[in-house]
Amino acid sequence: MIPSLEEQQIEKSHPIKTWIQQLSTKALAIISIHVLILVVVLLIDGLNYSAKISLFAFLSAMTLWITTKIPAGFVAVALIMFIIIMNAADPELLYHSLSEKVVWLMVGSFIIGEAVKQSGLAERLAQSILRKSNKKGNVLIGICSVIFSTAFFIPSTSGRAALSMPIINQLGQKFSTKEQSVLAILAPVIILMSTSATLIGAGSHLIGIGLLESTVDQTISYRQWLVWGVPFAIVVSFLSFFIIKKTLWPKGEGKEIENVQRVSRMREKQPLNQKEKKTLVLLSLLIVGWVTESIHGYDIAFVTMVGAILAMVPHYGMISWKQGMKSVSWNLIVFVAAATALGKVLVDTGVVKWIEQEMLHVLHLFVGAPEWLIVLIILLVTVTSHLYITSHTTRAIVFIPSLIVFSETIGVNPSTVVFLSLIGMNYCVTVPVSSKALLLFYEEGRISYNASNLLKISILLMPLYILIMMMFYFSYWQWTGMEL
């Protein structure tokens, strides 16, 4: 219908009003959230101009990742450009983002994953899981069991994600598209939940214990961590599995996988081919390289890239250079680089330091508070820390020294405070950027998940995670010698 002359004149005289009317309710809500964020950030006295711009950009990115379908990489890069244009950072923020360790770790992980897939080893491992049962529910339990067990010999959540990714891709062929998106969330979440089982489960554990030893001359042994960590990791992993399956698993899908067991038995009887043997040797060398990082001095990202190069050696590797490059999700790599830079600029501009100081002011109010309240406050601070400090390692470096000082100030056991804090920091399930394991499966390609589904899971899981930690502390952990 053609608007009348009068309507056209009104439209010209009130262009903003007309534009607002054309916006959807969702768009208006997102704009309103941004206006609210801007007002709140501008009212913060303890931050300078650069810090305020960086904080606004970071919160804007979080909002857009969760509430819209705009490509995550586009959002991250656009907001990095926004920070630079607003003169809150130099252009090097963008350029140096591609030099982050996590970027090269993920490039190497994709290449190694492709080598595992092309060699046939991923298919063999997938078939061995499927051989146990053709029911989808049992297959999911098998996947989770395998992923959980890797926490005891691979000291890196990203390394575990890199090894599980080709297996998940292979198994995903037996599931529908909706079921595949659930697998893409289930795998990294179980990786993160099982991290608490061992002292070597995350680099942040070793950093935290190192700080504990150097400041108050206390420690937590590998055996003691197992006693405290394994039962907790089993409970939260099972709870996560249950919540994801009940919340996200599509209704009405078939419960069985057709024609699996006969094929599985045939595949398993076949001897390992040359490529599979090479891949097993490479994976063994990688695991040794990851475990012995403190001996040889090369970090996990560099070791992973060495493995990737070995996988592509002409005539001797499992895949060609071209296959390796094609296997990398460059869309995800750009997103990770820009998102990591968004997190790093919060540290560089002093936003993280300001948050830490504000929290410490609050924590010192609890001198003489009851034990349950002290534990709850520690958990609330550490469990939610992933929302504003995206790096797991950075969270440990920022918070552990302060929490040790806090424990001495109020007269409680630093070892207990450090253990509770590290387990609390292991929770990072709300947004993809909070964990490398989540990032590896985010927009990976054929099997990926939606950030809004991850948020949905976290809304249910986060309070339960805190509750279970409280219950463990006042029961099993105290029975086994933990005390404040």
Both structure tokens of 465: 């995670």
Compute the distance between CA of residue 473 and CA of residue 484 in angstroms, rounded to an integer. Answer: 10
Whether the CB-CB separation of 122 and 167 falls below 8 Å is answered with yes
The reported pLDDT for the residue numbered 474 is 92
Using pLDDT thresholds of 50, 70 and 90, give the confidence band for residue 235.
Answer: very high
Q: Which of 75-79, 128-132, 420-424 shows the lowest per-residue confidence on average (mean pLDDT)?
A: 128-132
pTM, 2 dp: 0.68
Compute the distance between CA of residue 441 and CA of residue 460 in angstroms, rounded to an integer. Answer: 21
| 2, HSE (Cβ side, Cα atoms, 13 Å) | 2
Looking up tokens 């964990």 gives: 435
Whether the CB-CB separation of 289 and 310 falls below 8 Å is answered with no
The reported pLDDT for the residue numbered 281 is 87
- In the predicted structure, residue 261 carries a pLDDT above the cut 70: no
Looking up tokens 């060609």 gives: 320
313-329 per-residue burial string, b: 16 or more CB within 10 A, e: under 16:
eeeebbbeeebbeebbb
The burial class, CB within 10 Å (0-12 / 13-18 / 19+), for 306 is: middle
Comparing CA positions, the residue from 465, 447, 353, 452 lying closest to residue 68 is: 452
Whether the CB-CB separation of 314 and 118 falls below 8 Å is answered with no
What is the separation of C-alpha 444 from the centre of its chain, rounded to a whole number of angstroms?
Answer: 14
The whole-number average pLDDT for the span 256-281 is 65
Model confidence pLDDT, tens digit, residues 331-359: 777 877 887 788 778 778 888 778 777 76
Using pLDDT thresholds of 50, 70 and 90, give the confidence band for residue 268.
Answer: low
- Helix, strand, or coil (residue 135): strand
Model confidence pLDDT, tens digit, residues 122-155: 667 666 766 666 677 777 887 888 888 777 766 5
Using pLDDT thresholds of 50, 70 and 90, give the confidence band for residue 5.
Answer: low
Q: Which residue has the higher pLDDT, 210 or 147?
A: 147
Give, rounded to a whole angstrom, the gap between the first and last alpha carbons of the chain. Answer: 73
The whole-number average pLDDT for the span 258-270 is 53
The burial class, CB within 10 Å (0-12 / 13-18 / 19+), for 98 is: middle
C-alpha angle 32-357-88 in degrees, rounded to nearest 5: 55
The reported pLDDT for the residue numbered 357 is 75
The reported pLDDT for the residue numbered 432 is 81
- In the predicted structure, residue 411 carries a pLDDT above the cut 90: no
The reported pLDDT for the residue numbered 195 is 87
Q: Which residue has the higher pLDDT, 313 or 270?
A: 313
Compute the distance between CA of residue 70 and CA of residue 63 in angstroms, rounded to an integer. Answer: 11
The reported pLDDT for the residue numbered 296 is 81
